[in-house]
Structure 1
Amino acid sequence: MFSRIHRTRRAAVAVAIAAPFALAPTAHATPSPAHEVDHIDSPALGPQVRHGYISSPPSRQAMCAARRVQDCGEAEDSPQNVKGAKGLRKCSGNNPRFLALDDETKAWPVTKVKNTVTFNWVLTAPYRTGTWDYYIGNTRIARFDSQGEAPTSPVIHTVDLNGRTGRLKVLAVWNIADTENAYYSCVDLQR
């Protein structure tokens, strides 16, 4: 009896973790033929899944979880787990499980924006936070200091692109205050 109950619970947990995220575009997110998307709703995350990522404008891992981009590896089922050491400049956080997020040959959809962009983070674990940093290339364009406080979800930051135009890849980094880790999220924009 015990082993049958244990197997049933284990199977239920496996199904909950493996279930694809129901990320559907909102009513105002009508992709054009140029692969433009402005928002993907956040998934209903269970207690087994932790951490965070940018849901709007949709990050690369949000696009993968919504199946708008194929062959993303673990980013399809775990968009919130893109974690690596602090100080990196890679969409994957240099995490081998998420290297597909660094692949610039993929047709990453873009979101059309103006000079000011509002980024929305979905957090499933409110870690005490040092800073939230935003980069284009190796240039930090914004920093928000949380001074070690635990954030509440959603976290919203408004960032000025400082007049940059064209196709832009913004790397957002959530630096955890009390560990050596950070969470990474890249967003493809068109201005």
Structure 2
Amino acid sequence: MSSNTFGAALRHGHIATPASRAFFAWQEGKLNAGQLNQREAGKFFPATQSGLTDPVAPTDSPNALPPRDGEIASANQGDGRFLDEPGTHWKKHTVTANEIMKFVWTYTAPHATRRYNYFITREDWNPNLPLSRAQFESTPFFKAEFTEQPFWSHGATLRPTGPTTHEIQLPQRSGYHVLLAVWEVADTGNAFYQVIDLDFVGNGNDNGNGDTIPAAPASLHATEVTTSSVALAWNASATAGVSYRLYRNGNMIFNGSRLSFVDNGLMENTAYSYTISAVSATGKESAQSAAVIVTTKSSSTVVTPPTAPVRLHSMSVTADSASLMWGSSEGSNPIASYIIYREGDEIARVAASQLNYTDRGLRAETTYRYFVAAVDSQDLLSVPSNVLTVTTLANSSDDNGGNDDNGQYPAWRQGGSYTAGEIVSHNGKNWVCIQSHTAWAIDWAPGLAETLWYEAR
């Protein structure tokens, strides 16, 4: 493996089981851990444009640019372009049609999650052509989705547990096919893309008729909690024609076809463990889902401050800036804003819906310490987040103080935020921004990202 496999660039997540194309590349040393976890591009595949809002949750961050055709496996990231090579040479998992298969996501920086979509190539796809939208079915064959909004008021509900497991019934296919799994987040415009190569063998003659054990439902979670009740919801099983059994502390409390249930008559300030299973028409029951622990509220009138923001981490660092991101806080009152501190001094406040901030105007080759705190609607302040230490990069010899050689326009920087119409210099040329974005990846640079920049004439 690469010498920097366990470097500081760990962030976000990937599918560990079954091994994705990127995971195999990581095992072979072709990607480091940061690159494995950051197969990241704009959400809402198979959409092709950016700036779209989520139809389920319009207050989510609009999407960034989704991956271009031919760059789906790399997610538009230049360090993984070899993942986009067409052909049948990729390592494959042997499966059968209608098989129940487990997909396990692991995270290094879990985001507020909106959904997971799973796509499969069309029956007549051509593996010798690049992966494109035309090669995949236009709709996912399986989806696990959360509908709570706005995301900043449902931090615990939308934050994925690590690992997250989906039991999915594979569609009817034969021969070599590609599965595309997409983890869409609510608090940024991006998603994480994982391509998995499958070899379908046998005839898969069950056709989902209930003769096999069904797939467990996905995304069991609490939608509302009071002093005496817990409202729960879950996604449908990938196996058609099933009913559901909901268990509290190992005892069945619901048996039916609905996708939600309210458990009443509970004790206040008490933790309860819930699991759910699917039951086929012939009475075969799936394995129970991972347990969800829910604690009912207390009738006490004591109001507590917000919890500390979690997982403060750096998205990118330049010679004069540091881009920060963190997980949301929770409390008795709605969160009003977040305060960003550098070296113990407040430097900015952002709205509750904004879980990121770019600190600019820093000194090159200098170490800075940051933490973040939350403020609720009653001005109650949380304890600080973890302390993040960041060291800025050295100025390049041709940086010229951040401007190009003629001093007219600032130099493009990875991690910088740019608005449509803004002009920057890069590699001796001037470039005009086509659409507003934050340049998380190096291959979003002018001259590489033709959908983001055009050369000024």
Query: Is TM > 0.5 for Structure 1 vs Structure 2?
Result: yes
- Give 1 or 2: higher strand fraction: 2
Structure 1 stretches of at least 4 aligned residues deviating more than 3 Å after TM superposition: 45-48
Q: 1:158 to 1:46 in 2, by over 3 A?
A: farther
SS at match of 2:184: strand
What do residues 93-148 of structure 1 show as CA deviations (whole Å, max 9, x unaligned)? 22223222111237211111232221111111110001100001332111101345
Shift of residue 18 of structure 1?
4.5
Q: 1:162 to 1:108 in 2, by over 3 A?
A: same
Does structure 1 residue 159 correspond to structure 2 residue 159? no
Does structure 1 residue 64 correspond to structure 2 residue 49? no
Gaps of 5+ in 1: 1-16, 21-44
RMSD between superposed Cα atoms in Å: 2.2
Equivalent residue for 1:116, pick from 84, 100, 108: 100
Does the Cα contact within 8 Å between 2:94 and 2:198 map onto a contact in 1? yes
Using structure 1 for the length normalisation, give the TM-score. 0.68
- Give 1 or 2: higher helix fraction: 1
CA distance in 1, matches of 2:159, 2:9: 19
CA distance in 2, matches of 1:101, 1:88: 18
Using structure 2 for the length normalisation, give the TM-score. 0.30
Q: Which residue is 1:42 aligned to?
A: none
Equivalent residue for 1:187, pick from 190, 196, 202: 196
Identity %: 29
SS at match of 1:190: strand
Shift of residue 47 of structure 1?
6.0
Letter in 1 for 2:179: V
Shift of residue 82 of structure 1?
0.6
Write out aligned runs for 1:126-137 (5 A). 126-137=110-121
Does structure 1 residue 175 correspond to structure 2 residue 184? yes
The structure with more radius of gyration: 2
Q: Which residue is 2:361 aligned to?
A: none
Q: 1:176 to 1:76 in 2, by over 3 A?
A: same
SS at match of 2:44: coil
Report which structure shows greater RCO (CA 8 Å, sep ≥6): 1
Letter in 2 for 1:99: R
Write out aligned runs for 1:15-94 (5 A). 18-20=3-5, 48-67=9-28, 72=30, 75-77=31-33, 78-88=35-45, 90-94=72-76
CA distance in 2, matches of 1:154, 1:46: 21
Shift of residue 151 of structure 1?
0.2
Q: Which residue is 1:40 aligned to?
A: none
Does the Cα contact within 8 Å between 1:61 and 1:76 map onto a contact in 2? no
Does the Cα contact within 8 Å between 2:100 and 2:168 map onto a contact in 1? yes
